[in-house]
Amino acid sequence: MSQFLRQGYSGAQIGLHWVIALLVLFQLIFGESMGAVDRAIARGETPDATDQFLAGAHYWVGIAILVLVALRVLMRVVQGAPEPVGSGLQLKAAKIIHAVFYLLLIAVPVTGLLAVYVNEEIGEVHEIGKPLFIAVIVLHALGALFHHFKLKDDTLRRMFVPR
């Protein structure tokens, strides 16, 4: 990832952070419809209409996440990003969490696409993304709230106010 440092995030970077966060939550909450449709078809039944709609949404929202993350990585390289606040172990933990996020944001949609177009069994790998995403989101959100309410630094504010 680029080491070009800036004071804060740009408005576009902040917008992308929150749009991607909402889309990922949608995928985690409604993803099971994808498997439900597959199972109904395998049994020779007509899939539930809501599951069909949500499975269609899962496909396109997942692809949108991949495109938006590519844009975000490009923007980070071109515009730079601020160094996480803190030092030592805390700084290292924030950097690792951010790197794991970028890894999941690319690997999870790619394994979803591979499950659809190459081999259904890759769906098993894709599904591991769910607990991993939940664990990283919880750690990340707790970290952001800890910075804001306990350390009382600028971390959370800069994901709302462009600089």
**Chain Cα centroid distance, residue 69:** 8
Closest distance to ligand HEM from the beta carbon of 17 (Å) = 5
Q: Smallest Cα–Cα separation from 16: which of 63, 57, 73? A: 73
Closest distance to ligand HEM from the beta carbon of 25 (Å) = 6
Dig out the tokens for 143 from the structure. Answer: 């970290």
Phi, psi of 49 (to 5 degrees): -60, -40
Choice between 7 and 46, CB closer to ligand HEM: 7
Binders of ligand HEM among residues 18 to 37 (CB under 6 A) are: 20-21, 24-25, 27-28, 31-32, 34-35
* Binding of residue 98 to ligand HEM (CB under 6 A): yes
* Binding of residue 146 to ligand HEM (CB under 6 A): no
CB neighbours (10 Å) of residue 31? 21
Rounded CA-CA distance 34/54 in Å is 7
Query: Are the CB atoms for 136 and 100 separated by under 8 Å?
Result: yes
Binders of ligand HEM among residues 99 to 128 (CB under 6 A) are: 101-102, 108-109, 112-113, 115-116, 123, 126-127
CA distances to 8, 62, 69, 90, 161 from 84, in Å: 10, 28, 19, 9, 15
Closest distance to ligand HEM from the beta carbon of 49 (Å) = 18
Binders of ligand HEM among residues 36 to 95 (CB under 6 A) are: 38, 58-59, 62-63, 65, 76, 81-82, 84, 94
CA distances to 30, 37, 102 from 20, in Å: 15, 25, 11
How many residues touch ligand HEM under the rule CB under 6 A: the total is 46
Q: Give the binding site for ligand HEM (CB under 6 A).
A: 17, 20-21, 24-25, 27-28, 31-32, 34-35, 38, 58-59, 62-63, 65, 76, 81-82, 84, 94, 98, 101-102, 108-109, 112-113, 115-116, 123, 126-127, 129-130, 133, 137, 140-141, 144-145, 155-156, 158-159
